[in-house]
Amino acid sequence: MEDLKDIRRQLTENPESRELNNRYAQACLDIAKEYTVMSQGHIFICSPSDLEAVQYVMAKIPNVSLLDGATLEEYKRLKRAVTQARMNRGNPGSKMGNYYALILFIVMPLMGAPILMLWELSALSTSDHNRNPSILIYLIPVALITAALLWIGWLVERIPGWKYNALVVQENEKAELAKAEAAARQATDSNPSEMGSEPGSEPRF
């Protein structure tokens, strides 16, 4: 991955350079892809925090109109993934949006309606026709059950992102380990050649 600061410095000197814009955009896209999941050729963004990170990085691309080739195609694919993730984030029509609507507009009213009906009917059982306020205490379990169901939905919505983050950490650890092993092998390979050249080397003044 190229140094973003170095490319950014060159861009400030030559902002209309198509090559520099593509190199900078590709570096940004490489960073953004670390917050995504690839499955069957499609890009997915799992958690809200990953979506925010991808949007933040993509916003750093200075001039999208100068992108071309593979960089432009990759930008479009990531843009579609962002759009899809925003649509699926609890909006109407999405799976989680339907789940929340089911809880709030069907399950909760079905649980609360009988209690409110008993509260209304309690006025008929008294001579002064006052409703019994103690019946309303049964609305507390309704509220707790509704909150629990909403929390379960929130949890299910974020589990894929947490799993992906764990995979990213695991892959990063493997990559760091591979780099360390490669550096160790390179150092081991270079040491014998250096040691063999020292006895025959001429002194430097």
pLDDT in tens, 17-55: 899 899 999 988 988 888 888 877 778 887 777 888 888
Q: How far apart, in whole angstroms, are the C-alpha atoms of residue 26 and residue 18?
A: 12
- Give me the pLDDT at residue 133, please: 86
pLDDT at 90: 53
The span from the first CA to the last CA of the chain, in angstroms, equals 40
Q: Residue 145 domain-assigned?
A: yes
Domain assignment present for residue 203? The answer is: no
Final residue belonging to a domain, choices 67, 87, 107: 87
Residue 164's pLDDT is 56
Q: How confident is the model at residue 141 (pLDDT cuts 50, 70, 90)?
A: very high
Domain that holds residue 121: 95-190
In the chain, how many domains are there?
2
Tokens 């090559």 belong to: 19
pLDDT tens-digit readout, 64-111:
888 888 999 999 999 988 888 877 665 555 677 788 889 999 999 999
Please tell me whether residues 143 and 161 are part of one structural domain: yes
Residues 6 or more apart from 90 whose CB is under 8 A from it? 96, 97, 100, 157
Q: Among 172, 150, 169, 149, which residue's Cα sits nearest to residue 161?
A: 169
- pLDDT (0 to 100) of residue 171: 65
What pLDDT shows up at residue 203?
Answer: 45
**Residue bearing the bigger pLDDT, 98 or 199:** 98
Q: How confident is the model at residue 196 (pLDDT cuts 50, 70, 90)?
A: low
Give CA torsion, residues 62, 67, 73, 74, to 10 deg.
-40
What is the mean pLDDT of the segment spanning 201-205? 47
Among 47, 65, 87, the domain boundary falls at 87
DSSP 133: G
Length of the chain: 205
Tokens of 165: 């983050």
pLDDT at 93: 52
- Do 101 and 55 lie in a common domain? no
Does one domain contain both 83 and 99?
no
174 and 112 within one domain:
yes
Long-range contacts of 70-78 (CB under 8 A, 24+ apart): 71/22, 71/25, 71/26, 71/29, 74/26, 74/29, 75/25, 75/29, 77/43, 78/29, 78/32, 78/33, 78/36, 78/43, 78/54
Q: What is the rounded average pLDDT for all residues in the chain?
A: 80
**Alpha-carbon torsion (143, 149, 153, 156), positive or negative:** positive
